[in-house]
Chains A and B, each alone.
Chain A
């Protein structure tokens, strides 16, 4: 099969040119946002060359472009298992094609068929900080898992923190897939910490990028990636975001494109939730869980959903608890340290330890690496989210 068959030669050339000129874009976009020239990524080849290349070198770049051997490129892509989809071909996300400055080509790992399947379902983008609190991580994971279980495609950016948790959740939720939009070539696992997750996504789902294979990320490519995430989805959910942050850029893109923006409330005293709380003040929809997201999606897409099938009632598990465990569980709502939990529950240290072990076993609380305890978000699954 021809890997580049999903893209016309003009688009391919333009995308490869963007890849070649990526370092120069970095120079140009290093300026503060208000001084940047917008729409750069939407320019045609000739305009790109004029905008980014000094006159003396333009000739060389043009000749490189003319001599570009697309057959050879296509063969290399075949080799690497990468496919290209341009905006004139299926299954380029229709929502993205009509946004401003659509990427000429999306480079895919995981296959066109999977992307097409994923895009048939309602699409929701989940983004957030790279330094989440355990709470934010848990919410993002549960959101990803429950949305996927409900048949929603979860888009995120494979960054550390919230993004990774949302991807993990979606992969664990199974029914629908998860799309990772990268700020570098799709074949470059970045950040390296997420290599295993990237591998899982490539194997079971879709990884895509505007930048051609092999490219490292640039400073400008992160906001550029955010515009793709915002444009691809009907709704962007911000889980935990500081102010200012890349997640807020994604939310702003979504707002400009007329897509929905929603946010998960965080503590008002926490700087890492300031961005998300700010969005809520500005009128973003409140998300307490997957149900709120499903309610926020357009009615017709709701009709497509069968609803979150397998979200059991955690209340059953709670009612089966012994009194000590129930008291400890209540204390965990407001405290996270074992000592403080014990004080609040008025129990001896040894009883608190054993109750917490039972609760952890029942999947009702989880423990972070430092031994702090946290109430798990409702839903099934006693699967620890901290497992690799």
Chain B
């Protein structure tokens, strides 16, 4: 007898429908699996056999063949276990066929017959909706996440025996709570208001958070660059529901989702030994890299100068386009990568501010390592200075700044203005605007235009640099709740631009 069951395979961060066909007929008892399956999929035969027997079901002594269609798509992972098992049960008449037309299934089997969670449940649910299935059977742990897709009824199931009951119409699971928000309050030590001094750096963080701008912090070791960057998540604007779905889907595919909606902007800080593949994604099957995991959030690169040139260069195009296109063999996948880049580096190669004896040549060589096209994408450059000890010890409440919550409110308000302005353009924040959008949407007052013209002559601004200044000025005006960009906004934005790197007179 023949049975077919619908399931999904991951393709980048989205999914693709796979039909599992199982044929059972008399003959020598064998079990073959065809359809470009990787090792984990082929091993599923053993899991399925043991799971069926341990669930008190019958594993038929027949000639069994399972085909994963379409046959040209590579299949990997263990999420086909359940579909193969259900196909076998249907092909041998242990469960009725009727419900299989409207139910898609996914799940990994343990030998005991229990269902284990899979990566990418949200992507599978999206796929199920797209393919028109009314029900999706998932392991219990994946239920909340999959239930974020409202048009599909998600059926969480604990083990194989329950599925048999379900398909026979003898049992129905409780509907999962859809879209429960996983709220993790920021740890108290990451409060921005506790940072003493660093008024300038806090301002830079505020602007960066409000507009999604890339930020580079330069300063001596121990001055507080990392400390400041770690406080950035506390002031980021909240994710919109659509953004949260995107982030959840990515994290689910990468196996990082906590189960449910990811509600906070991601903050990724890979170590500087990360490879180019680790940063932008790769391997086979292609997996998202740090840049994609930081989508709609922050990618923090501490000790920027220590990253390999290859890794940094690999981010150039993704940062420009907001997505990563990875081609491996005959398949190509596209990962979203709209992250805000925050980088920190020392201000000289030796890293000893008190006893620095770096020559100009060493310094310019060091800066040149950083420079190049990556720095072209940096909107804000901020020098971090060590706060004098006097201020750390005695300068208490005077320098105690606004709290994270207050800054977050301002940032959120500025971001709402941007979202309203950018509605239907595809951009989410000022940093997303491309050149033409920038020139169309950034209204300069006549003073501001004159100021920009006057100051940019001395500053030798390139066209790209010009746009960057405009975008940052737009964000500064948004923070001040002004529709028109004024001269001081432009001036402040100009103050954050990159110094003439690499052009150090020797």
Contact = CB atoms under 8 A, between A and B. Distances in A.
B495 A165 contact: no
Interface stretch (B282-290, B332-340, B408-416, B498-506): B498-506
Contacts of A164: 505-506
A168 B492 CA distance: 31
Interface residues of A, number: 44
A168 B200 contact: no
Interface string B200-233: 1111100000000000001000000000000000
Contacts of B460: 384, 387
Given A342-B200, A349-B203, A357-B455, A372 B495 contact: no
Contacts of B204: 349
B251 interface: no
Given A349-B202, A357-B455, A130 B495 contact: no
A384 B457 CA distance: 11
Contact of A357 (B200, B347, B363, B495): B495
B459 interface: yes
Contact of A387 (B381, B383, B454, B503): B503
Contacts of B476: 350
B496 interface: yes
B391 to A, nearest CB: 8
A339 interface: yes
A175 B339 CA distance: 53
B488 interface: yes
B200 A349 contact: yes
Contact of B506 (A193, A355, A361): A193
A358 B197 CA distance: 24
Nearest to A356: B495
B443 interface: no
Contacts of B500: 369, 384, 386-387
B505 A386 contact: yes
B359 A131 contact: yes
Contacts of B199: 339, 342, 348-349
A21 B495 CA distance: 55
Contact of A384 (B458, B488, B495): B458
A337 B223 CA distance: 13
Interface string B72-92: 000000000000000000000
A327 to B, nearest CB: 15
Interface string B353-374: 0000101110110010000000
A340 B492 CA distance: 17
A368 interface: yes
Contact of A370 (B347, B489, B496): B347
Contacts of A387: 460, 500, 503
B306 interface: no
A360 interface: yes
Contacts of B303: none
Contact of A369 (B201, B202, B385, B499): B499
B120 to A, nearest CB: 44
Interface in B185-209: 197-204
Interface in A330-388: 337-340, 342-343, 348-358, 360-361, 363, 367-372, 382, 384-388
B494 interface: yes
A160 interface: yes
Contacts of A301: none
Contacts, number: 121
Given A339-B200, A360-B459, A386-B503, A354 B488 contact: yes
A204 B360 CA distance: 26
Nearest to B365: A193
B503 A388 contact: yes
B499 A161 contact: no
Nearest to A361: B455
A137 interface: yes
Interface string B139-165: 000000000000000000000000000
A352 B496 CA distance: 11
B383 A371 contact: yes
B501 to A, nearest CB: 5
Interface residues of B, number: 46
A348 to B, nearest CB: 7
A308 B435 CA distance: 46
Nearest to B367: A369
Interface in B450-499: 451, 454-455, 458-460, 476, 488-489, 491-492, 494-496, 499
With a 10 A CB-CB cut-off, give which of A130, A161, A353, A363 has the most chain B CB atoms. A353
Given A161-B360, A165-B505, A339-B197, A363 B458 contact: yes
Given A340-B385, A357-B494, A386-B505, A367 B499 contact: yes
Contact of B200 (A194, A353, A369): A353
A191 interface: yes
With a 10 A CB-CB cut-off, give which of A131, A193, A339, A385 has the most chain B CB atoms. A339
A371 B381 contact: yes
A342 B492 CA distance: 14
B197 to A, nearest CB: 7
A321 to B, nearest CB: 13
Contacts of A361: 454-455, 458-459
A60 to B, nearest CB: 40
Contacts of B506: 160-161, 164, 191, 193-194
Contacts of B202: 349
Contact of B360 (A160, A338, A342, A343): A160
Contacts of B488: 350-351, 354
A169 B12 CA distance: 57
Contact of A350 (B203, B458, B499, B501): B203
Contacts of B201: 339
Nearest to B199: A349
Nearest to B382: A371
Contacts of A160: 359-361, 506
With a 10 A CB-CB cut-off, give which of A164, A340, A342, A361 has the most chain B CB atoms. A361
A283 B204 CA distance: 49
Nearest to B371: A369
A366 B295 CA distance: 37
Nearest to A353: B495
Given A131-B359, A137-B505, A387-B460, A358 B455 contact: yes
Nearest to A387: B503
Nearest to A337: B385
A385 B505 CA distance: 8
A349 B399 CA distance: 12
A337 B363 CA distance: 18
Nearest to B347: A370
B54 to A, nearest CB: 66
Contacts of A161: 360, 506
A370 B455 contact: no
Interface of B: 197-204, 218, 347-348, 357, 359-361, 363-364, 367, 381-385, 387, 451, 454-455, 458-460, 476, 488-489, 491-492, 494-496, 499-506
Given A338-B200, A348-B199, 20 more contacts: A131-B359, A161-B506, A193-B361, A338-B383, A339-B198, A339-B200, A339-B201, A342-B199, A349-B203, A350-B492, A351-B488, A353-B200, A354-B489, A361-B455, A363-B458, A369-B363, A369-B499, A387-B460, A387-B503, A388-B503
When A and B form their complex, which 10 residue pairs have the shortest distance between CB atoms, in order from nearest? A353-B495, A354-B491, A371-B383, A361-B455, A349-B203, A193-B506, A349-B200, A337-B385, A357-B491, A357-B494
22 contacts: A130-B359, A131-B360, A160-B361, A164-B506, A168-B505, A337-B383, A339-B199, A339-B200, A343-B197, A349-B204, A350-B492, A353-B496, A355-B491, A357-B492, A360-B459, A361-B454, A363-B458, A369-B500, A371-B383, A386-B504, A387-B460, A388-B505
